[in-house]
Amino acid sequence: MRPRRQPARTNAGELLKKAAVAVTLPATAKIWQDLVSVLGSSLGVDWAFLAEIKTSEKPIAKTLTAWHRGNIVPNFDYPFERLPEDDALSQDICLFPDAAQKQLPNAWLKQIKAKAFGRASLFDSLGRLRGILVIAHSQPLQDPDRIGALLRIFAFRAAAELEHVLPDDRLYDELLENARESRLRESHSP
């Protein structure tokens, strides 16, 4: 199969239209599919996905939706490697327009033969990393500033949706602990 080329550079007006699509997508059950589909097709890349970060000894990104060359594909686990951008709200985008495999020795990038890679960190309202929005392409990316801007806009919407839908595990654990303590106090009261 012949690799797809990135479309010609988009003018500012077209970029604004695509950004408006990301911000105004209706919050339906398939909002994440819509976001990655519009992002991937707008940028003309091979891959776009949204993943939740599962923290443990080895953090892993579990895709909530993945798009590959025009189709939603089955979810998968992605090996999550922390980058300096993950711990700084001001540096929420990392973009490797070319030679991504050399700069990020990631098995998935090698498997899909990616030359370009971009990732937006998705933070919740408390500044915690909750997920990532990723693009990957088999050819170098042209105009990284345009791509970074569009990725940032889509990431803003994805982060908002992620926070609305995914449970806050720490808050959930606190609520369970409070309920247990309350039941324990009730069982020991006269």
Tell me which residue range forms the domain holding 81: 12-188
End-to-end CA distance of the chain: 75
SS3 of 161-180: the string is HHHHHCCCHHHHHHHHHHHH
* Residue 177 maps to a domain: yes
* Residue 7 maps to a domain: no
* Residue 168 maps to a domain: yes
pLDDT at 88: 45
pLDDT at 129: 82
CATH number for 87: 3.30.450.40
Q: Which two tokens stand for residue 158?
A: 């994805």
Please report, in tens digits, the pLDDT of each residue of the chain (190 residues total).
444 554 445 565 665 666 666 666 666 658 889 889 989 988 999 999 999 988 777 778 899 999 999 999 999 998 777 654 544 444 578 899 998 888 887 888 889 999 999 999 898 888 888 889 999 999 999 889 889 888 988 898 888 888 777 655 555 555 556 666 666 666 666 6
* Residue 2 maps to a domain: no
- Distances in Å between the Cα of 106 and the Cα atoms of 30, 99, 123, 145 are 29, 12, 23, 24
pTM of the model: 0.74
* Residue 88 maps to a domain: yes
User: Into how many domains does the chain fold?
Assistant: 1
pLDDT at 115: 94
pLDDT at 101: 83
* Residue 6 maps to a domain: no
pLDDT at 55: 76
pLDDT at 68: 97
* Residue 3 maps to a domain: no
* Residue 57 maps to a domain: yes
